[in-house]
Amino acid sequence: MTRDELIEAALAHAGAVEDYPFGESILTVKVGGKVFAWIPLTPSGWLGSGCRVAVKVSPSTALELRAAYPEQVYGASPLSEKTWIALRIGGKIDDDEVRDLIASSYAAVVSALPKRRRPTSSG
């Protein structure tokens, strides 16, 4: 999966918008004003090096993924490492699993939004 495909997967969800609140080097993908994916646009820096993304997951999912992919999944500091994980793209994690994790992050953020800020359809 390329960075462009990663961005496309995140923006495919209903109500998803891109934002650059921390400058041009980090893309945040939001729904209802809340971030569900952090995508660094630089080759290295925050979240490591190479193509990478931070997504929101349940604490148990974070533990499972870290155990399954010890060199590919890690805490997304300074975000809460209990519920935000960083994924290195292009390694052992299958592209479909990355898309599923983005969709899961999106769903978690949407479910926490007030009903008036939720998109009317899901993607």
Structural domains in the chain, CATH included, are 3-117 (3.90.1150.30)
Which H, E and C letters describe the chain, residue by residue? CCHHHHHHHHHCCCCCEEECCCCCCEEEEEECCEEEEEEECCCEECCEECCEEEEECCHHHHHHHHHHCCCCEEECCCCCCCCEEEEECCCCCCHHHHHHHHHHHHHHHHHHCCHHHCCCCCC
pLDDT digits (tens, 9 = 90+) for 10-32: 999 999 999 999 999 999 999 99
pLDDT surpassing 80 at residue 109: yes
pLDDT, residue 49, reads: 85
The mean pLDDT of the chain is 92
Q: How confident is the model at residue 81 (pLDDT cuts 50, 70, 90)?
A: confident
pLDDT surpassing 50 at residue 76: yes
pLDDT, residue 121, reads: 65
pLDDT digits (tens, 9 = 90+) for 49-67: 888 999 999 999 999 999 9
Q: How confident is the model at residue 45 (pLDDT cuts 50, 70, 90)?
A: confident
